[in-house]
Amino acid sequence: MLKLAVIGSGSGTNYLAIQEAIEKGTLDAQVVCVLSDVPDALILERARQHDTPAFHVDCAPFKTKLDGEAEQRVIALLEQHDADLVVLAGFMRLIKPALIARFAGRIVNIHPALLPAFPGLHSWKQALDYGVKVAGCTVHFVDEGMDTGPIILQKTVPILDEDTVETLHARIQQQEHLAYPEALRLIAANRLTLRGRRVLQTLPRDLN
Amino acid sequence: MLKLAVIGSGSGTNYLAIQEAIEKGTLDAQVVCVLSDVPDALILERARQHDTPAFHVDCAPFKTKLDGEAEQRVIALLEQHDADLVVLAGFMRLIKPALIARFAGRIVNIHPALLPAFPGLHSWKQALDYGVKVAGCTVHFVDEGMDTGPIILQKTVPILDEDTVETLHARIQQQEHLAYPEALRLIAANRLTLRGRRVLQTLPRDLN
Q: How many Cα atoms within 13 Å fall on the side-chain side of residue B145?
A: 9
The ipTM estimated for the assembled molecules is 0.93
Q: Which CATH number goes with the domain that contains B101? A: 3.40.50.170
Angle at B142 between CA B57 and CA B118, to 5 degrees: 100
Number of domains in chain B: 1
CB B43 within 8 A of CB B15: yes
Measured between alpha carbons, how far is residue B19 from residues B5, B25, B28, B84, B88 in Å?
A: 11, 10, 11, 16, 14
CA–CA separation, A55 and A61 (whole Å): 18
pTM > 0.90: yes or no: yes
Cα A68 to its chain centre, rounded Å, is 22
Domain assignment of residue A208, yes or no: no
Could you say which DSSP state residue A162 is in?
A: T
- Angle (deg, nearest 10), helices A165-188 and A13-24: 40
Q: Tell me which chain B residue has its CA closest to the CA of residue A141.
A: B131
Domain assignment of residue B105, yes or no: yes
CA–CA separation, A87 and B59 (whole Å): 54
Cis peptide before A204 (omega within 30 of 0): no
Q: How far is A28 from chain B (nearest CA, A)?
A: 24
Residues in chain B within 8 Å Cβ distance of A114: 114, 117, 132, 134
Active site residue A111: yes
CA–CA separation, A69 and A107 (whole Å): 19
Domain that holds residue A181: 2-199
Q: Write the residue in A133, A156, A197 that is nearest to B131 by C-beta.
A: A197
Q: H-helix or E-strand containing B107?
A: strand B107-111
Which segments in chain B show pLDDT lower than 50?
208
Residues in chain B within 8 Å Cβ distance of A133: 151-154
CB B69 within 8 A of CB B48: no
What A67-75 contacts at long range (C-beta under 8 Å, 24+ apart), as own/partner pairs, is: A67/A96, A70/A37, A71/A96, A71/A98, A71/A99, A72/A98, A74/A7, A74/A35, A74/A99, A75/A99, A75/A102
Choose, from B111, B140, B169, B177, the residue flagged as catalytic: B111
Measured between alpha carbons, how far is residue B69 from residues B54, B60, B120, B184 in Å?
A: 19, 9, 25, 29
Domain assignment of residue B204, yes or no: no
Q: How far is B158 from chain A (nearest CA, A)?
A: 9
Angle at A116 between CA A14 and CA B139, to 5 degrees: 115
Domain assignment of residue B168, yes or no: yes
What's the confidence (pLDDT) of residue B89? 97
- Angle (deg, nearest 10), helices B165-188 and B13-24: 40
CA–CA separation, B40 and B56 (whole Å): 8
Domain assignment of residue B205, yes or no: no
Exposed / middle / buried, residue B171 (Cβ in 10 Å: 0-12, 13-18, 19+): middle
pLDDT, one tens digit for every residue, chain A (208 residues): 999 999 999 999 999 999 999 999 999 999 999 999 999 999 999 999 999 999 999 999 999 999 999 999 999 999 999 999 999 999 999 999 999 999 999 999 999 999 999 999 999 999 999 999 999 999 999 998 889 999 999 999 999 999 999 999 999 999 999 999 999 999 999 999 999 999 999 877 655 4
**Dihedral angle at the C-alpha atoms of B91, B162, A107, A186, nearest 10 degrees?**
140
Q: H-helix or E-strand containing A21?
A: helix A13-24
Question: Count of residues for chain A?
Answer: 208
Q: Tell me which chain A residue has its CA closest to the CA of residue B134.
A: A154
Q: Tell me which chain A residue has its CA closest to the CA of residue B128.
A: A198
Domain assignment of residue A207, yes or no: no
Domain assignment of residue A206, yes or no: no
What's the confidence (pLDDT) of residue A91? 97
Per residue in A117-142, pLDDT tens?
Answer: 999 999 999 999 999 999 999 999 99
CA–CA separation, B177 and B143 (whole Å): 22
Domain assignment of residue B145, yes or no: yes
What's the confidence (pLDDT) of residue A208? 47
| Rg (chain A; Cα; Å) | 17
Residues in chain A within 8 Å Cβ distance of B156: 134, 156
Could you say which DSSP state residue A148 is in?
A: -
If one counts every other C-beta atom within 10 angstroms of the C-beta of residue A68, the result is 14
